[in-house]
Structure 1
Amino acid sequence: MNFHVLTLFPEMIDQGVRTSITGRAIEKGVISLELVNIRDYTKDKHKKVDDYPYGGGAGMLMQAQPVYDAFLSVTKNLKGRMRPRVIYMAPQGRTFHQQMARELACEEDLIILCGHYEGIDQRVLDTIVTDYVSIGDYVLTGGELPAMVMIDAVSRMVPGVLGNEDSGETESFSNYLLEYPQYSRPEEWNGQKVPEVLLSGNHEKVEEWRLTQSLERTKELRPDLYEKWAAENQDYFERLRRREARKRQKEERRLRKSQEI
């Protein structure tokens, strides 16, 4: 997968993305990162890329021309491929979530546009942007931090990026559920012991415990996600009901036998 980022601060993204898991994925060629400095495409001799907004108002606005030319510098090298999605990181966009990360990971190329100052001239946004995306209801200085969040989350869904191919599917939000508690050595620390089931070697029991813990944690902390999961997994609750019914029947038979004796 290829990420193309249009930004005024390429060094900021370069330092953040070329480390840890995403950095190793770039080195292996599993993903690629192209950083395009919008300032390189201004026609102003002083490298100016912003101006006052028409109608007045506080702050400066990024101009359309350098943004558009930076965009063209990317797309001219993508001829013959599908038209890439262009993501503009902005507070008015759809909130970024795990399902969106999985969806975007299916793209061959992804162009991410980072705004700055008071934003970008609407005319160029109307011309090139396909998706407006936000990472939350708060204000940041620019789109670089949200872009790094998106690159990290999307990259984890690309096959070959994670060492354990199952990791991306078992983490929080991958299926609406929060991740279950995890433990490592030693078996006892500060008077707290690792749950016995995790030491049992019974993989079926371990998976059952993990799912139960995920459900309980999600129901308590993110009831909205729990409701989504429950709506799509009615068969799970039906299996639980049948299991409980069998337990009751077994207990009733045991009690009857003890009374007969």
Structure 2
Amino acid sequence: MRVNVVTLFPDFFRGPLGLSIPARAAAAGLVTYNLVQLRDFTHDRHQTVDDLPYGGGAGMVMKPEPFWEAVQSLAPEGEELPSGPIVLMSARGRRFTHADAVRFSLQPQITFLCGHYKDVDHRVAEGLATEELSLGDFIVSGGEIPALAAIDATVRLLPGAISDHESASTDSHYDGLLSAPSYTRPAVYRGREVPGILLSGDHARIAAWRREQAERLTRERRPDLWEAPEHS
């Protein structure tokens, strides 16, 4: 897989992508990261990437031209745009989910567009991006944090990125549920005991307990997930 990231802050990604699973996946040849500096696609001496919004109002809006030219630079010769999803991380986008991470992990290439300032010119969302995604109902300083989260969620699903697939298959959201609680040594800590069933050695009962706990937590904390068709 090739992951392209168009951003004003390439250095934001170098540290996290050089650690843990994203780094191991790259070292194993499962993924390459291509960080694209948006300012390299400006044409004035100030490398201007934003301007005042038409119609007035507070804040600055990122210009469409640098995004368009940056993405076009990633296309193979004779093609207008690179293959694969082109994703604008945006607070007005649909919420990113585990299903999106699975879908992205099957692509040979994906391109993330990171906005900043007040907004990105809507022609980028409408004409360049193939989809617009958000992490949730809150605002962060730019698209870098959401893009990094989406990259990590995607890369860890690549075959071989995690040595123990069973570990991933018991994560929250893998099967539409939150995961059951986890415990490790010591068996008693500050008066709090590990549930006895986990010490029983009875794997069938442990599996049933974990399923019961996963369902309980999902019902209590994420009724929206529990009410999804696969659980009704």
Q: TM-score, normalised by structure 1?
A: 0.82
Q: What is the alpha-carbon distance in structure 1 between the residues aligned to residue 40 and residue 135 of structure 2?
A: 27
List 4+ stretches of structure 1 deviating above 4 A: none
Q: What is the alpha-carbon distance in structure 1 between the residues aligned to residue 55 and residue 191 of structure 2?
A: 65
Q: Which runs of 5+ in 2 are unaligned?
A: none
Q: CA deviation at 1:114?
A: 0.4
Counterpart for residue 73 of structure 1: 73
On the 8 A contact 2:76/2:82 being kept in 1, the answer is no
Counterpart for residue 132 of structure 1: 132
Q: Which residue identity does 1:49 align to in structure 2?
A: V
Q: Deviations over 1:79-112 (max 9, x none)?
A: 6x98311000111111111122112211111100
Rg (Cα) greater in structure:
1
Across the two proteins, how many residue pairs are aligned to each other? 231
Matched, 1:20 2:20: yes
Query: RMSD of aligned C-alpha atoms?
Result: 2.0
Q: Which residue identity does 1:131 align to in structure 2?
A: E
Q: CA deviation at 1:45?
A: 1.8
Q: Deviations over 1:59-89 (max 9, x none)?
A: 222212211111011123796x983110001
Q: Deviations over 1:6-34 (max 9, x none)?
A: 00011012222221221221222222211
Matched, 1:121 2:116: no
1:45-56 aligned within 5 A:
45-56=45-56
Q: TM-score, normalised by structure 2?
A: 0.92
On the 8 A contact 2:71/2:82 being kept in 1, the answer is no
Structure with the larger helix share: 1
Q: What is the alpha-carbon distance in structure 1 between the residues aligned to residue 128 and residue 120 of structure 2?
A: 12
Q: What is the alpha-carbon distance in structure 2 between the residues aligned to residue 19 and residue 197 of structure 1?
A: 36
The alignment partner of 1:91 has SS state of: strand
Shift in CA distance, 82/59, structure 1 to aligned 2, threshold 3 Å: closer
Which range is displaced more, 92-101 or 143-152?
A: 92-101
Counterpart for residue 230 of structure 2: 232
On the 8 A contact 2:83/2:110 being kept in 1, the answer is no
Shift in CA distance, 54/192, structure 1 to aligned 2, threshold 3 Å: closer
1:1-261 aligned within 5 A:
1-76=1-76, 83-228=83-228, 231-233=229-231
